[in-house]
C-alpha cells in the first residue's frame, strides 16, 4: 500500500477511538509514567496499519495525562467542548491554509467573527481585530513586536517593556528573543501608582507595558484601569496578557474586575484554556489591526498576489507566522453551535465551584486559604506541612489516578494550588483532593 492509499479499516479504527473518547463523560486521568519500551517503530517497511494503530492506541496515547479530566487541577487546565473537538477533526483532514483570504476566506471570516466577539467583550472599538496564533507565548511576542515597530515608526527609542515580577515567563523570554529588556516594577500585582513611580525613576526607552489579567500562579488581575491611565498619559502601548483570565470577561460576576481592559492596545486570551477549545490556540486582538499588519506583513515576489486586493484580510499579516492552520475555527464552531450564553454559563459555573472550594477550605481547621480567589485558582496551606509533604500528596494523587495536582510557592513557601477551568469539576471533586491532605 502506498503512502496516499486509503485504508478503510484503519479509518474505522481511528474514528471509533475518537468517538469513544468523545462519549466518555469522565475519561481516565492517564499516567505520568513513560510507556514501556517498545521496539523501533519507524522502519523501512513500516509496521502496517494494524500494528501501528495498536501501538498508538494501546501504548502511546494512554501514556499521557488527560488535561480535560475534571480533577486535572494543576498548571492551567483545559476542557475542550465536543463541538470544538469535532471541528478540529475536520480541520485536520481538510488541507486548508489559514493564512490568507484568497485561500481560506470562509475560515478567516469565521475566525474573525470569534475575534470580534472577544473584542466586543473587552469594549474595544469597532474595527479591532487580529488573528489566532499558536499560543500565548507567540501572542505576547507578536503584540510586543507590533508595539515596538509602532514606537520606532514614530521616532521613539524603543528598547524596554515595563512589567511586574509576576508577569508570565513567556514575556521575559520573548523580550530576550526581541533583544529587548524588562523594566521591573517592584511589588507583585502591577498598579498604576507603582508603574508611574518606576517610569519616573527609570523610564528611558520604555515603549510598552504588559499587564496581566489572571496571573498563572495565583489568578490575580492587575490594576488595569490605573495602568491604562499611565499608558495614555505617556503614550505607551498597553498589552494585556489574559491568556488564562480574560475568558472570564464573558461572566457578569467577574466583569468589573477587568475595568480598564477597554483601553488596551492589544490583548491575548487562549481559547484552549478557559474557552473550551482544543490545543493550541491563542486569540491576539489589536485595537488598531493596521499596526499589527505594518509590523508583521511579509514581502516576497511569490506573496504579492495575496495583496492584489488590499482589502483582503490575511491572518498571516498579524502575528509572527506565515504558514498557519485555522486555529480559531474550533472555537468559532463551538460558539456557533451553543451560543455565547452557554459560554457565560460554563465560566460562571467554574467561578461558583471555586467560591465553594474557598468556603470548604475555610471550614477545615487543618487548611488555611492564603489568597481570596479573584478568578478560579485556589491557593492554600496545610498546617504543619513541609515541602516534602506537599510533594508526596501530589505524587500519590497522580499515581493512583485520582487527580493531577502540583504544589507551588508563595513568598518562598511551598503551598497547595488548584486551578479550575472545567465546568465538569464539582465541589465533590475538590473535597476528594482536600480529604487526601488528612484532617
Q: Say what percent of the chain tops pLDDT 90.
A: 93
According to the model, what pLDDT value does residue 111 have? Answer: 98
Residues in the chain: 439
Q: Are residues 271 and 295 in the same domain?
A: yes
Q: Are residues 234 and 117 in the same domain?
A: yes
According to the model, what pLDDT value does residue 375 have? Answer: 98
According to the model, what pLDDT value does residue 34 have? Answer: 78
Q: Are residues 55 and 114 in the same domain?
A: no
Q: Are residues 397 and 252 in the same domain?
A: no
The per-residue pLDDT for range 331-363, each reduced to its tens digit, is 999 999 999 999 999 999 999 999 999 999 999
Q: Say what percent of the chain tops pLDDT 70.
A: 100
Domain end, chosen from 297, 313, 338, is at: 338
pLDDT over 80 at 258, yes or no: yes
Q: Are residues 318 and 267 in the same domain?
A: yes
According to the model, what pLDDT value does residue 332 have? Answer: 98
Q: Which residues contact 7 (CB under 8 A, 6 or more apart)?
A: 1, 49
The residue behind cell 505524587 is 395
The CATH number of the domain holding residue 420 is 3.90.1150.10
Determine, yes or no, domain membership for 80.
Answer: no
According to the model, what pLDDT value does residue 1 have? Answer: 77
Mean local confidence (pLDDT), 130-157: 98
Q: Are 242 and 213 in contact (CB under 8 A)?
A: yes
Domain extent for 25? 8-68
The backbone torsions φ and ψ at residue 122, rounded to the nearest 5 degrees and listed phi first, read -80, -10
Residue 61 DSSP one-character state: T
According to the model, what pLDDT value does residue 188 have? Answer: 87
The pLDDT-based confidence of 33 (bands split at 50, 70, 90) is: confident
* Rounded Cα distance, 343 and 359, in Å: 25
The pLDDT-based confidence of 32 (bands split at 50, 70, 90) is: confident
Q: Are residues 374 and 292 in the same domain?
A: no
Top pLDDT among 180 and 311 is at 180
Q: Are residues 123 and 192 in the same domain?
A: yes
pTM here?
Answer: 0.97
Mean local confidence (pLDDT), 290-317: 92
Query: How many structural domains are present in the chain?
Result: 3
Mean local confidence (pLDDT), 6-32: 93
According to the model, what pLDDT value does residue 40 have? Answer: 87
Determine, yes or no, domain membership for 204.
Answer: yes
According to the model, what pLDDT value does residue 293 have? Answer: 97
pLDDT over 80 at 325, yes or no: yes
Whole-Å CA distances, 426 to 69, 247, 293, 350, 420: 12, 19, 43, 9, 10
SS3 content of the chain, % helix, strand, coil (to 5): 45, 15, 40
Average model confidence (pLDDT) across the chain: 96
According to the model, what pLDDT value does residue 420 have? Answer: 98
Amino acid at each position: 500500500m502506498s503512502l496516499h492509499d486509503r485504508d478503510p479499516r484503519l479509518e474505522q479504527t481511528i474514528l471509533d477511538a475518537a468517538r469513544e473518547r468523545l462519549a466518555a463523560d469522565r475519561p481516565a486521568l492517564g499516567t505520568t509514567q513513560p510507556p514501556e519500551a517498545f521496539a523501533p517503530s519507524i522502519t523501512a517497511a513500516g509496521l502496517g496499519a494494524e500494528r501501528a494503530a495498536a501501538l498508538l492506541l494501546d501504548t502511546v496515547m494512554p501514556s499521557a495525562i488527560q488535561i480535560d479530566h475534571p480533577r486535572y487541577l494543576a498548571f492551567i487546565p483545559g476542557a475542550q467542548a465536543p463541538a470544538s473537538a469535532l471541528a478540529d477533526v475536520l480541520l485536520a483532514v481538510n488541507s486548508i491554509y489559514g493564512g490568507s483570504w484568497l485561500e481560506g476566506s470562509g475560515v478567516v471570516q469565521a475566525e474573525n467573527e470569534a475575534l470580534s466577539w472577544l473584542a466586543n467583550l473587552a469594549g474595544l472599538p469597532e474595527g479591532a481585530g487580529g488573528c489566532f496564533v499558536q499560543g500565548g507565548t507567540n501572542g505576547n511576542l507578536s503584540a510586543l513586536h507590533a508595539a515596538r515597530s509602532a514606537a520606532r515608526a514614530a521616532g521613539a527609542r524603543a528598547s524596554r517593556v515595563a512589567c511586574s515580577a509576576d508577569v508570565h515567563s513567556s514575556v521575559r523570554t520573548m523580550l530576550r528573543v526581541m533583544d529587548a529588556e524588562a523594566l521591573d516594577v517592584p511589588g507583585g500585582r502591577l498598579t498604576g501608582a507603582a508603574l508611574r513611580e518606576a517610569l519616573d525613576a527609570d523610564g528611558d526607552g520604555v515603549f510598552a507595558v504588559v499587564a496581566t489579567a489572571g496571573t498563572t500562579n495565583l489568578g490575580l488581575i492587575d490594576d488595569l484601569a490605573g495602568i491604562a491611565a499611565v499608558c495614555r498619559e505617556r503614550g505607551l502601548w498597553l498589552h494585556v496578557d489574559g491568556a488564562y483570565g480574560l475568558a472570564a470577561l464573558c461572566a457578569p460576576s467577574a466583569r468589573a474586575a477587568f475595568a480598564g481592559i477597554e483601553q488596551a492596545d492589544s490583548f491575548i486570551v487562549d481559547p484552549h484554556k478557559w474557552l473550551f477549545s482544543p490545543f493550541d490556540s491563542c486569540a491576539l486582538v489589536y485595537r488598531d489591526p493596521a499596526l499589527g499588519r505594518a509590523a508583521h506583513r511579509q514581502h516576497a515576489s511569490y506573496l504579492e498576489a495575496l495583496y492584489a486586493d488590499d482589502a483582503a484580510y490575511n491572518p498571516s499579516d498579524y502575528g509572527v507566522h506565515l504558514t498557519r492552520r485555522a486555529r480559531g475555527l474550533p472555537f468559532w464552531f463551538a460558539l456557533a453551535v451553543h451560543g455565547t450564553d452557554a459560554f457565560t454559563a460554563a465560566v460562571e459555573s467554574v467561578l461558583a465551584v471555586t467560591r465553594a472550594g474557598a468556603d470548604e477550605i475555610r471550614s477545615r481547621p487543618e487548611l488555611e486559604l492564603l489568597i481570596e480567589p479573584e478568578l478560579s485558582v485556589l491557593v492554600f496551606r496545610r498546617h504543619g506541612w513541609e515541602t516534602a509533604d506537599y510533594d508526596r500528596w501530589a505524587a500519590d494523587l497522580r499515581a493512583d489516578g485520582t487527580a493531577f495536582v502540583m504544589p507551588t510557592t508563595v513568598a518562598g513557601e511551598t503551598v497547595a494550588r488548584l486551578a479550575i477551568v472545567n465546568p465538569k469539576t464539582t465541589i465533590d471533586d475538590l473535597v476528594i483532593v482536600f480529604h487526601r491532605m488528612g484532617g
